[in-house]
Amino acid sequence: MTDKPTVGFIGVGLMGHGMAKNILQGGYPLVIKGNRNRAPVESLLSMGAREVQTPREMAQQCDVIHLCLSNSPQIEAVYHGPDGILAGARPGLIVVDASTADPTSTMALAAELAQKGGTIVDAPLGRTPKEAEEGTLDAMVGADDESYAKVLPIIECWAGNINRVGDTGAGHKMKLLMNLISMSYAALYAEATVLGAKVGIAPQTVQKVIGSSRLGNGFFDTFMSYAVDRNRDAHKFTIANASKDVRYANAMAADAGTLTLIASATRQYFSHVEAIGHADDYVPFIVDHIARMNGMDMEDEVKKGA
């Protein structure tokens, strides 16, 4: 037996599996909701997790529920309906939303859950599935003082860099800023690498010179690991998710009445790749698409520079 709160987890995919595993290994009773991909579900069940069929069942059994889903419509669907979280919520329930979501939706859901006596802590993620498995993700957390104190030990199971950025909703706002920067980096790095190849500077040279300068950073290294080294698993984050996040950031800017020319240009790049049927490509693959727009093949350019 344990006196630790029972934790639920919905969304045990690329990121969620590692997070849930680390919560379980932290000594917390874990309840998961299965999905069509049974491999991560069966993995967690073999470690001692229990499975429920609906979010309502989970809300009835858990003190804290984690969500790690793709977008706000998915999150809203988990809350609503006869089998949703709200239908089973008890006073004191805390939902830790680790998704990247529309802050307007987050605040509306927080108001609905408050009517049931529960609270939302938004704790979106930074980094990759590798860090999720290692328990060293970044987390930017929006929460009231009491809820933050309760969930911090759980978040510490899966995050190595935790920043509380404000009250509920602030975490999702901060995450949109982070992903706007990273996806704009991706578009810029792709443009610059393609331009370099066009004027005779090999992609390997761009990787070496920029990577060893003060302009280098972890995201650049990961991006160029695919662009040059052709490591397809360097950053397993889809164009579809990236495009969604940039749309949310642009919507947030529109609501705030802010001029965001770079954000708009970034959105167009990712929307284009989605529109031509490559939504499931990973983010660094955008370099291949921008190369093709310019009549080039990036893989061939890399071979030329070898």
The pLDDT, as a whole number, for residue 36 is 79
- Residue 303 is among the residues annotated as catalytic for this protein: no
The pLDDT, as a whole number, for residue 128 is 86
Running DSSP on this structure, what letter comes out for residue 5?
A: P
What domains sit in the chain, N to C, each tagged with a CATH number? 7-167 (3.40.50.720), 173-305 (1.10.1040.10)
pTM: 0.92
Q: What is the pLDDT of residues 10-25, one digit of tens each?
A: 999 989 999 999 999 9
Q: What is the pLDDT of residues 97-143, one digit of tens each?
A: 999 999 999 999 999 999 999 999 999 999 888 899 999 999 999 99
CA dist., res. 122 & res. 66, Å (int): 10
Q: Which residue has the tokens 């949109």?
A: 176
Of residues 21, 173, 175, 244, which has the active-site annotation?
175
Return the percent helix, strand and coil in the chain, to nearest 5.
55, 15, 30
The pLDDT, as a whole number, for residue 306 is 86
CA dist., res. 165 & res. 245, Å (int): 19
State the Cα torsion 36-38-40-46 to the nearest 10°: 150
CA dist., res. 143 & res. 141, Å (int): 6
Could you give the 3-state DSSP secondary structure of residue 140? Answer: strand
User: In this structure, what token pair is assigned to residue 184?
Assistant: 């704009």
The pLDDT, as a whole number, for residue 224 is 98
Average pLDDT over residues 185-202: 98
Q: How far is Cα of residue 123 from the mean position of the Cα atoms in its chain?
A: 10
The pLDDT, as a whole number, for residue 268 is 97
Average pLDDT over residues 156-175: 97
Average pLDDT over residues 296-300: 97
Average pLDDT over residues 144-171: 98
Q: What is the pLDDT of residues 204-252, one digit of tens each?
A: 999 999 999 999 999 999 999 999 999 999 999 999 999 999 999 999 9
Handedness of CA 162, 165, 168, 171 (dihedral sign): negative
CA dist., res. 228 & res. 302, Å (int): 6
Across all residues in the chain, what is the average pLDDT? 96
Examine the pLDDT at 1 and tell me if it is beyond 80. Answer: no
Q: Confidence band (pLDDT; 50, 70, 90) for 35?
A: confident
Half-sphere exposure of residue 229: CA atoms within 13 angstroms, side-chain side: 14
Average pLDDT over residues 267-290: 97
Q: Confidence band (pLDDT; 50, 70, 90) for 2?
A: low
At a CB cut-off of 8 Å and minimum separation 6, what does 197 contact?
A: 203, 291, 296, 298, 301, 305
CB burial readout 19-50, b (16+ within 10 A) else e: bbbbbbebebbbbbbbeeeeebbeebeeeebe
CA dist., res. 177 & res. 252, Å (int): 10
Q: What is the pLDDT of residues 223-232, one digit of tens each?
A: 999 999 999 9
Q: Provide the pairing of β-strand 94-97 with 64-67.
A: parallel
Q: Is residue 131 exposed (0-12), middle (13-18) or buried (19+ Cβ within 10 Å)? A: buried
